[in-house]
Every structure is written in structure tokens, then in C-alpha cells.
């Protein structure tokens, strides 16, 4: 090192040496400036020497054997250890994942992959998911875009249309009024809403009750106004289901006497449709119905009754299931009259009680932070914005906005009320549920003559679809008990699914409700079936929870 430094200094001091090869000094002298002195030469040599020395020292240190942890290198500079300290405690620390989230890492990864596949298959711009386990949110995430034009990504706080999950929210209002003795579910609706006219079916006076409205058994129409098409479709579906049931029973029991039952059933259906063995005329789907795209602003639920109150009933009340959002418009009017409050005011009180602070009715004028835009594909298969719609005519049946987090809170409140009665004997300190256990059992009990369009294994209950526990064969498919509701609106799809833990008196010790998995998914694309996806996700988390 000393020889190297001496050589550099000597060369710099020699005439025509380093100075002549250094463009800076030559230019300095050619510019007529005073000549650079030996101090500059010495400084240059010293600088070069120090630079080379640091480089050689670093190389030599890397070549030395590693020191034992018990005997640290005494020459190691504190600055040299800084990178190691940063790796332990970085300057910009990230919040570690909650312990429960880490427990479900496998389920989260699997569910995220499933959602990516669903999103890609349907071409949805964005999708948001939330999952809670035993009352604790363990995963929420957004995929894709809430606003494609402005490249705003989806996130857990994204607000979207929840569509028909609004019916389950409205059911809570009806249940609270029923528990308070302010609402009778089984008297004619005219007792509360005389503006709705009395009805006849085939010349016979019939009664429409609140209970029938809740379970879509009132006979009030949905968006399709053609009664003939609706009846033909219902008859065809009933016949098809009967054929499937007969074939299953024959295969299961090896009997043939079901043939007589089938013949009898065909006779009963003759008045419903003439061409039972052929498909009915094509009926428009909901998104081809003009009423779905209403732009008119209705001031209250009573005013919106004029859309359908004078239309004939499609079926005798109680006889057949006919899904009807307009039935829930009538239920909103019943809530107003039974409570003495405006429907939206009463619902906002419920949302406040449930801590659902981002759930509001959809209106165009207010600024709603994190609200997504909604999309559809046009005839050329291009993504376009949906047209403007005003949902004031159907607040109760499909007019609310929410987030996955709020829907998880709602699901957990329902599950808590459903289960708390089982835990009362083992834990007397538990708080009451928002709804009483007997109310929740009533709400989640399947109603005869109903259908669950998003899972044919289930039945409709009271503003929820319910699949009951069932297992036909040993070591084969086991059907879990769950409750859910899906939603489909202009440019939006949604689902809220509750998978209760299978409890018995021996397993509730040292546990508190709610016990189970809640999954909520919202999407800014219409006609996306999400119930089976939510069920798969719930079962993935239930598996990790059991393990």
C-alpha cells in the first residue's frame, strides 16, 4: 500500500506526469489560470490512496474466515452492522398478519385462486370477498377494479350494490316489529296498508299476509308481467322435478309403483300447461325487463305500490312459490305503518345497532366514498357502464349498498342470535342476540312449497335460502346446513352465506357464539352466480379451522 501511494505521488509531482495526463490540470493551465501547486498534487494522491485502501481492506476482510458468534470481530464497524439491524427492525415496518389469519393461510390462498378463476371466467371488472370465523374477520380482499375508467382498484372498503340481500335486511325490521308485538304476520296486509286492494284468484276472495309475502308465496308478480309465460314455466319446472324425483326413487328402492304417482301428477298439471312435455315459450330474464331500469324517483313505499298493486295475482296465495321483489316493496310499506317511522329511517336505526356504518340506500346525489361503478357487456361483448337506474321503488327488495365487512357483521349478528340459546346453560353471562333465538329458528326453517333458485338442495325460508343437513349414504357426500341469500342487480352480483358450526351439548363447553363461517362476496358485474363459490370458500376455512 505504501509503495502504491509513493508511486502515485511521485508521478503526480513529475513534469508531464499525472498532470499532463489529467485533462483537468491541462485545461486549467491552458485557460491562463494560476498553476496548481503541490498541495493539490498531495491531496489527489492522498485521496486515491484512501480509496484504494478501503477497497483492498474490504477485499481482505471478505477473505478472512468467519468469526465465531461467541467472539465477534473487534474491528467490525458499527456502521457495517447496520444492514443486519435493518433486516430485523426495518425503517418502514409492515403490520404483521394477525395470528388467526396466518392459521388460515392455506384456505386464503386456495380461495383467492378460486376467485381469480371465477373473475376471469365471467369477465368481471372487480370482486371483493370477506370471511369471518367464529365472529372474527380473518380475510378480506379486493381483486380487479372498482372503477375501470380511473383504474381504481377494489379493496375491502369498496361499496357495491348488494341487490336482493336487501331482503334479508328488511326481514330484521319485520322480526323486530313482530317481537315487539307491533306486527301480526298472519293477518291480511290491508290491516296495515289499506292502499293495497283486496285480491281475488279465479273469482274467489283470497288473503295476502305478511308471512306469505316474506316467503314469496303471495302470488304477487315479479318483473315478468305475462302470466301465461310464468305459469307455463312453473308447470314445466314442476314436471321436470317430478321426473327426476321418480327416477331417483326407482333407482334407490327398485320399485315401480311410482309410475302411478307420476300419472296422477300429470293429470293435476293439465290445467297449468297444455304442452307439458315440451319447453315453454322463452321467457325474458330479469335483465330484459323494463321495470328493472326504472329512473323514476319514488318518495315513499306507499307511492311505489302503484307499479303493481292493481295487477292480478299469478297464483293463489300459499299454493306456489313465485319470487317477487315487488312483494318486498309492500313489506316496506308494512314496516312504515307498523313502526310509525319512514322505512329508511327505521332501517338506518337497525344498521346503527348492528354497527353497519357503510350500509345505505342507493341514491345518485349523495357522495358515497369508495362507491364502485357498475358494468355490463354489450352486444359486441365490450365492457360498458350500466345505464342510470333509480332503486327507490325497491329499497326493501334490492336497493341497498354495502361492503363485505358490513355484511360479515350482519351475518355474525344473525348467527349469534341463532346459537346463543344453546350456550345459555353453560354461560349465563352471554348478552342477548339482536333477534331472539326462537325468532332466528323461525327465520331459518325452510317453508313448504318454496324453492331456492341458487341451490336446488334447499328451500326458501323467511328472507333466507336454507339447506338442511343431510347424508344419504355412509362415507359419501355430506350436505352441510347453511343459510344464504344471493343478489342480482343492474351491474352487480352478491352473496352472503352463513355456515354454522355443528354443535351439540358436549362441544359447547368453553365456547361462545357465534360459531361458524361467514362469507360475503360482492361484484360489479351482473348475472354472476356466487353461491357455490361462497360455499366452497366457507368449507375451505372450515377445514383449516377443524385442523
Q: How many CB atoms lie within 10 A of CB 518?
A: 29
* Helix or strand holding residue 519 (H, E): strand 516-523
Please state, as a whole number, how many other Cβ atoms lie within 10 Å of the Cβ of residue 306: 11
- CB proximity list for 345: less than 8 A, separation 6 or greater: none
**Residues near 115 by Cβ (< 8 Å), separated by ≥ 6?**
127, 129, 143, 521, 533, 537
| Residue 344 near residue 395, CB atoms below 8 Å | yes
- Which residue in 111, 132, 140, 164 is the catalytic one? 164
Residue whose entry in the numeric block shows the C-alpha cell 415496518: 93
Calpha distance 319→130 (Å, rounded): 38
- For CA atoms 477, 483, 484, 485, the dihedral sign is positive
Closest CA to 241 of 262, 220, 216, 272: 262
Beta carbons of 463 and 170 less than 8 angstroms apart:
yes
Residues 6+ apart with CB under 8 A from 342: 300, 336
Contacts of 318 (CB under 8 A, 6+ apart): 212, 217, 449
The residue among 167, 155, 72 whose CA lies nearest residue 461 is 167
C-alpha R_g of the chain? 35
Strand order in the sheet with 400-402: 160-161, 400-402, 360-361
Q: Is-catalytic flag, 426?
A: no
Q: How far apart are CA 404 and CA 129, in angstroms?
A: 6
Which residues are tagged catalytic?
164
Amino acid at each position: 500500500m505504501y509503495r502504491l501511494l509513493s508511486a502515485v505521488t511521485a508521478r503526480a509531482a513529475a513534469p508531464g506526469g499525472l498532470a499532463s495526463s489529467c485533462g483537468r490540470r491541462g485545461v486549467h493551465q491552458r485557460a491562463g489560470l494560476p498553476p496548481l501547486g503541490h498541495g493539490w498534487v498531495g491531496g489527489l494522491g492522498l485521496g486515491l490512496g484512501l480509496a484504494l485502501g478501503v477497497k483492498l481492506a474490504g477485499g481482505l476482510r471478505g477473505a478472512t474466515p468467519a468469526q465465531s458468534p461467541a467472539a465477534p470481530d473487534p474491528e467490525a464497524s458499527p456502521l457495517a452492522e447496520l444492514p443486519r439491524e435493518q433486516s430485523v427492525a426495518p425503517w418502514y415496518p409492515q403490520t404483521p398478519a394477525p395470528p388467526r389469519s396466518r392459521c388460515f393461510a392455506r384456505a386464503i390462498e386456495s380461495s383467492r385462486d378460486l376467485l381469480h378463476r371465477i373473475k376471469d371466467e365471467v369477465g368481471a371488472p372487480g370482486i371483493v370477498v370477506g370471511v369471518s370465523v367464529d365472529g372474527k374477520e380473518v380475510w378480506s380482499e379486493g381483486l380487479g377494479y372498482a372503477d375501470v375508467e380511473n383504474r381504481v382498484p377494489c379493496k375491502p372498503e369498496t361499496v357495491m350494490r348488494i341487490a336482493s340481500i336487501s331482503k334479508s335486511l328488511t326481514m330484521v325490521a319485520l322480526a323486530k316489529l313482530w317481537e315487539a308485538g307491533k306486527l301480526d304476520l298472519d293477518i291480511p296486509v290491508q290491516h296495515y296498508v289499506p292502499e293495497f286492494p283486496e285480491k281475488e284468484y279465479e273469482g274467489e276472495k283470497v288473503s295476502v299476509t305478511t308471512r306469505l309475502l316474506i316467503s314469496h308465496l303471495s302470488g304477487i308478480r315479479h318483473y315478468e308481467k305475462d302470466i301465461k309465460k310464468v305459469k307455463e314455466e312453473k308447470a314445466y319446472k314442476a314436471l321436470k322435478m317430478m321426473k327426476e324425483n321418480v327416477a331417483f326413487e326407482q333407482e334407490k328402492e327398485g320399485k315401480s309403483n311410482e309410475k302411478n304417482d307420476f300419472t296422477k301428477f300429470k293429470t293435476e298439471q293439465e290445467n297449468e300447461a297444455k304442452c307439458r312435455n315440451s319447453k315453454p315459450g322463452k321467457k325474458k330474464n330479469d335483465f330484459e325487463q323494463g321495470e328493472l331500469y326504472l329512473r323514476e324517483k319514488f318518495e315513499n313505499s306507499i307511492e311505489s305500490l302503484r307499479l303493481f298493486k292493481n295487477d292480478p295475482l299469478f297464483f293463489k296465495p300459499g299454493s306456489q312459490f313465485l319470487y317477487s321483489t315487488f312483494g318486498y316493496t309492500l313489506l316496506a310499506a308494512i314496516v312504515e305503518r307498523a313502526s310509525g317511522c319512514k322505512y329508511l329511517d327505521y332501517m338506518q336505526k337497525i344498521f346503527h345497532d348492528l354497527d353497519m356504518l357503510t350500509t345505505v340506500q342507493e341514491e345518485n346525489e349523495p357522495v358515497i366514498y369508495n362507491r364502485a361503478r357498475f358494468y355490463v357487456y354489450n352486444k359486441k361483448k365490450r365492457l360498458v357502464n350500466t345505464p342510470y337506474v333509480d332503486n327507490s321503488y325497491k329499497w326493501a327488495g334490492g336497493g341497498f349498498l354495502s361492503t363485505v365487512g358490513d355484511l360479515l357483521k350482519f351475518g355474525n349478528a344473525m348467527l349469534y342470535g341463532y346459537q346463543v340459546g344453546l350456550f345459555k346453560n353453560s354461560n349465563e353471562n352471554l348478552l342477548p342476540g339482536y333477534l331472539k333465538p326462537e325468532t332466528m329458528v323461525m327465520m331459518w326453517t325452510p317453508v313448504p312449497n318454496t324453492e331456492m333458485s341458487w341451490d336446488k338442495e334447499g328451500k326458501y325460508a323467511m328472507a333466507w335460502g336454507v339447506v338442511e343437513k343431510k347424508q344419504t349414504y355412509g362415507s359419501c357426500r355430506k350436505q352441510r346446513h347453511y343459510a344464504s341469500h344471493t343478489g342480482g342487480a343492474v351491474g352487480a352480483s352478491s352473496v352472503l352465506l352463513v355456515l354454522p358450526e355443528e354443535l351439540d351439548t358436549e362441544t359447547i363447553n368453553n365456547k361462545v357464539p357465534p360459531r361458524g363461517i361467514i362469507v360475503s362476496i360482492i361484484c360489479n358485474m351482473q348475472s354472476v352466480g356466487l353461491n357455490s363459490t361462497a360455499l366452497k370458500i366457507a368449507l375451505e376455512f372450515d377445514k383449516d379451522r377443524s385442523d
